[in-house]
Amino acid sequence: MKQISTAILGATGYTGSELIRLLDAHPHFAIAHLGAHSQAGKLAGEVLPGLAKNIANMPLLASDTPLADGIELVLTALPHGAAAASVKKALDAGCRVVDLSADFRHQSAATYAEAYGQAHPFPELLNDAIFGLSEYARADIADAQLIANPGCYPTCTLLPLLPLLKAGVIDTSRIIVDAKSGTSGAGRSAKTDLLYCEINEGVRAYGLPRHRHAWEMEEWGEAFSGNPISVQFVPHILPMTRGMLATLHVSGENPDNWHQLLAEAYADEPFVQVLAEGSLPSSKAVNGSNRCDIGLCVTGKNSAVVVGCLDNLLKGAAGQAVQNANIMFGFNETLALSAHAVWP
Ligand SMILES: NC(=O)c1ccc[n+]([C@@H]2O[C@H](COP(=O)([O-])OP(=O)(O)OC[C@H]3O[C@@H](n4cnc5c(N)ncnc54)[C@H](OP(=O)(O)O)[C@@H]3O)[C@@H](O)[C@H]2O)c1
């Protein structure tokens, strides 16, 4: 059976540990290198107590450890800013890369600087990166050396929005995106405002006046649909471990036809499920799966609410990354990703 030797950089983080779980069950990707930063030098199982014995005994390698000969695929699950240099090194070593960070998600260095407040260290690579929203970029992903894996909020927003944008049926001048995420969306590093006492039994908005992902939604909403869009995006953090839900308030003519547009767009997609009209998605029904569930409810003569829902660590990150790696290497796109949600 064909084996692709694979490195995971940022293996000790929340998305990195999901990559381990998915790839260890994959018939063709063999984990050969686990990279870490502050935890380098320990065994994987000392830092990630959920791992089974075969991986628990693998060493965590420092960021500057060279990739061994024969590694073909590198998955980078590092903070933005830190990811770019590791991606460059992996590309220079001839590897194909799926980067889960935001470092290659924008087509221009100016947009990256505006959204992330720092200059891009390798602007010459931006044109080569393919934005890996799997359902919309399959042909480009198949040939790519570098995939910029989309953000969790943009995936949760663009999948419900794009069929309506492409059909030109909604007002694109102000789309309200009211979104919620579990705390794993903020990563594993210690932060005071994520302490149990500060997050439990509460909810709060954050990231205003303009969260970084607003640029990503607008850039790729326009790129995939041909229509410029303007989003008013407000994320909220909830006291739950994982799960993400985006409620889109949209207006336009004949909203009674919109459910059919969504259902037709995703009829053959294994990981996008359009619920019956009027049914609304729930994070409990997708967590643990690589699915994005979409619901639509017509709320007025010219308005509707469209809701996207996914597991931020799976379809919002590691799941979509493995889906993209499957496409890159010509494997069945669903390999290692067909798990149902963990219920309840
Ligand atoms: N969490 C989500 O839901 C989500 C969704 C979509 C995309 N993403 C993106 O995916 C990336 C990883 O997110 P995450 O939530 O998994 O983060 P995380 O839990 O904070 O993990 C970060 C990882 O990067 C390593 N690291 C930290 N600083 C580093 C540095 N300066 N140089 C090299 N390695 C460093 C850490 O290693 P040590 O533990 O050894 O220090 C750890 O393995 C981020 O860019 C994030 O924006 C996250």
Domain-located, residue 254: yes
Nearest residue (CA) to ligand 1, atom 9: 101
Strand ranges of the sheet holding 96-99, from the earlier edge strand across to the other edge: 29-35, 4-9, 73-76, 96-99, 146-148, 130-131
- Together in a domain, 170 and 124: no
122, 84 in Cβ contact below 8 A?
yes
Burial of residue 328 (CB within 10 Å: 0-12, 13-18, 19+) is buried
- Together in a domain, 221 and 276: yes
Our count of domains for the chain comes to 2
Domain-located, residue 134: no
**Mean pLDDT computed over every residue of the chain:** 97
| pLDDT tier at 2, thresholds 50, 70, 90 | confident
- Together in a domain, 174 and 270: yes
Q: Is 189 in the pocket of ligand 1 (CB under 6 A)?
A: yes
The residues assigned a catalytic role are: 152
CA dist., res. 275 & res. 263, Å (int)? 8
CATH number for position 45 = 3.40.50.720
Whole-number Å distance, alpha carbon 302 to ligand 1 midpoint, is: 42
**pLDDT tens digit string along 240-251?**
999 999 999 999
Residue 278 pLDDT: 84
**pLDDT tens digit string along 208-265?**
999 999 999 999 999 999 999 999 999 999 999 999 999 999 999 999 999 999 999 9
Residue 326 pLDDT: 98
Domain-located, residue 142: no
Residue span of the structural domain in which 41 resides: 4-128
- Together in a domain, 100 and 185: no
Q: Is 12 in the pocket of ligand 1 (CB under 6 A)?
A: yes
Report whether pLDDT(1) > 80. Answer: no
| pLDDT tier at 153, thresholds 50, 70, 90 | very high
CA-wise closest residue to 101 among 176, 16, 39? 16
Whole-number Å distance, alpha carbon 202 to ligand 1 midpoint, is: 25
- 60 CA closest ligand 1 atom index: 40
Residue 266 pLDDT: 98
Nearest residue (CA) to ligand 1, atom 46: 101
Residue 130 pLDDT: 98
Whole-number Å distance, alpha carbon 174 to ligand 1 midpoint, is: 32
CATH number for position 260 = 3.30.360.10
pLDDT above 90 covers a percentage of the chain that reads 99
Give the helix/strand (H/E) hosting 299: strand 292-300
Give the helix/strand (H/E) hosting 74: strand 73-76
246, 315 in Cβ contact below 8 A?
no
Domain-located, residue 168: yes
Residue 131 pLDDT: 98
